[in-house]
Structure 1
């Protein structure tokens, strides 16, 4: 059996959720959109169902996968409904739609629901991606209330730069939010993952834990106590010894500077390890530090084993996980951990805990 696999530590997932909820001090959504950021939405939801206050996904098809798997907790639809029919499906399956533009207000006006459902009303406070402008939120809140189809209205916004602790944008967004919703009834939700960890001023009735659930620390000091949930690993399948000056891989991007032992690893960009990752990116071989050497291929990559003399065929290679933070790999690939984790495929998934 090809040794490329993604080990998913569900105990670590629960640890990270508990940490987030304790840090935030109030109810916490577990965000499991995009197949739980590549970790397996159904498996992660089952692991958290006894602990999570509610879940969040992007759209209704993701929610229905969870409902069909027997997940009963409330589920927030972050993109909201795309039609009046979806409003009615949300009512039937205990889903909480986000409402963030005028077209969705019209869907609630037109819906024929057996009883009101809870919604989340989103404000644009500076992200400039989705949400009502501050001067329009009161009218939107009144229209939802008067539709007869809406029960509790949670007021929410999304923070654009909470992962930058020295930047004042988050404080400005909080001030804009507070001013816009003054006098409106309903719970509040501002905190995403970095705000949960680093901005107590954003902590309100609901937090929304996303990337932190999976152990990729969104704060620059990476000192939050999160545990890696996914370990992407494989094995060395062959070893080649080459002299100094030997080019390795497509395009001869890497050239050895010394006599080198090269380990060929069964892992490539078709498995989700980024092709753009630079030479020298850390890996761990049998628990010892090593590095990527040469351009990543579709099915294979090469690591420098010179400083791990005991390594050879069958040696375990951690591409990211507890020893090699996924943030470091993402940085070396010129991207972010969110994208790297979401792109894992073809590797065999194994769940523990």
Structure 2
């Protein structure tokens, strides 16, 4: 193992390491617990029983570093990985051995066919046009090329329509040269277990895949795993649950928290009654207040909208005024006078406030919080 400048540990072959800022120069510290990530994989795998468990590492593993996350999942036994774009797959191939499958969810952009084949990347074919392009390349290379096929079971996003599946079933020559390894679809409402759309999509998927060659099937995402065995098929594709986002909203989170975020105090001050705080004087001091400015803002992916707070040894420190690009003002009046000094850390995500709670404050979902994180943090990976 080697440690490049910036302090991120890099394993053999792990070329695209997530960049980081040295700790003493960074305004905020992002911790990624790879041990918790691996435990989450084990939790999901145990729930799946005989079905295999993949790892969705698109969008740089939801902002946490695809190289580091993929290596940790591979060490836990994961052998199938999903990304959104071909360039993500090509980067990931530098990390993973050739016998680990990398699927590209958005399929084949025109002109990317040869890049995919040379890197042993498996496209998820979403249209008859993509299928034809992959078949044409297989014919030119004079060898079969592996592919997954996505069918639209009711989400109207990606995949062959029922009419196209019927056409493919009636014309099996369209699969010439294509080694079909997976048929898949995606659930639209899996985080709502009582939504009848789930059962409708499952039934649609099962009907469509019966028209196609008998290969492994995949339908369940993170929340889909918790809908029960009827949704597991042969392979599940969890993403957010691996990273600690609750796959069962409304119920207790069965996953371990993977992410922590702490920001440094830049300055503290005392202000009197009625003094304006932050842009637009969106807040004003109530009687005498003590404030701390921390080095974190919307340029780092912290959303401007919604009430929120930081924490210091369990004490809640409400935001005072608007979130700025590079800083947030906290009300620290509840702390002893000498509790915080410049350079000290406060917690934004951790034991006192989860990713899902931060998302609720911002009126969004945990997925968006994670994938919004900027590149100015010191990133610390541990627990591998």
Q: Could you state the TM-score of these two structures normalised by the residue count of structure 1?
A: 0.92
How far the C-alpha of 1:63 sits from its partner, in A, is 0.9
C-alpha distance in structure 2 between counterparts of 1:253 and 1:126, whole Å: 45
Give the structure 2 partner of residue 350 of structure 1.
Answer: 380
1:108 is aligned, of 134, 150, 163, to: 134
Give the structure 1 partner of residue 339 of structure 2.
Answer: 311
1:186-218: CA deviations, max 9, x gaps?
111110111113444311100001111111113
1:126 is aligned, of 148, 154, 170, to: 154
Is 1:156 the counterpart of 2:188? The answer is: no
Q: Could you say what secondary structure the match of 1:338 adopts? A: helix
- 5 Å-filtered alignment, 1:267-306, equals 267-276=296-305, 278-279=306-307, 281-306=308-333
2:37 is aligned, of 3, 9, 13, to: 13
1:24 is aligned, of 45, 48, 72, to: 48
- Which stretches in structure 2 are left out of the alignment for 5+ residues? 1-24
How far the C-alpha of 1:340 sits from its partner, in A, is 1.7
Give the structure 2 partner of residue 255 of structure 1.
Answer: 284
- The change in CA–CA distance for 1:344 and 1:222 in structure 2 (over 3 A counts) is farther
Give the structure 1 partner of residue 208 of structure 2.
Answer: 180
Does the 8 A contact of 1:105 with 1:140 survive in 2? no
C-alpha distance in structure 1 between counterparts of 2:68 and 2:142, whole Å: 32
- The change in CA–CA distance for 1:8 and 1:224 in structure 2 (over 3 A counts) is same
C-alpha distance in structure 2 between counterparts of 1:203 and 1:145, whole Å: 30
Give the structure 1 partner of residue 364 of structure 2.
Answer: 335
- The change in CA–CA distance for 1:143 and 1:259 in structure 2 (over 3 A counts) is farther
1:204-244: CA deviations, max 9, x gaps?
10000111111111321252321222212112222222234
Q: Could you say what secondary structure the match of 1:204 adopts? A: coil
- The change in CA–CA distance for 1:110 and 1:183 in structure 2 (over 3 A counts) is closer
1:224-272: CA deviations, max 9, x gaps?
3212222121122222222343331111222344532211111111122
Does the 8 A contact of 2:128 with 2:164 survive in 1? no
Give the structure 2 partner of residue 89 of structure 1.
Answer: 115
Is 1:206 the counterpart of 2:235? The answer is: yes
1:310-347: CA deviations, max 9, x gaps?
63114321111333111221222222222221121111
- Which stretches in structure 1 are left out of the alignment for 5+ residues? none
1:134-177: CA deviations, max 9, x gaps?
23214335656654322234111111111112321111111111
1:240 is aligned, of 252, 264, 269, to: 269
Does the 8 A contact of 2:105 with 2:123 survive in 1? yes
Q: Could you state the TM-score of these two structures normalised by the residue count of structure 2?
A: 0.85
Give the structure 1 partner of residue 225 of structure 2.
Answer: 196
Q: Could you say what secondary structure the match of 1:270 adopts? A: helix
Does the 8 A contact of 1:285 with 1:315 survive in 2? no
Q: Could you say what secondary structure the match of 1:307 adopts? A: coil
1:258-297: CA deviations, max 9, x gaps?
5322111111111221122x23x13222343332221111
Give RMSD over aligned pairs.
2.1
Does the 8 A contact of 2:70 with 2:96 survive in 1? no
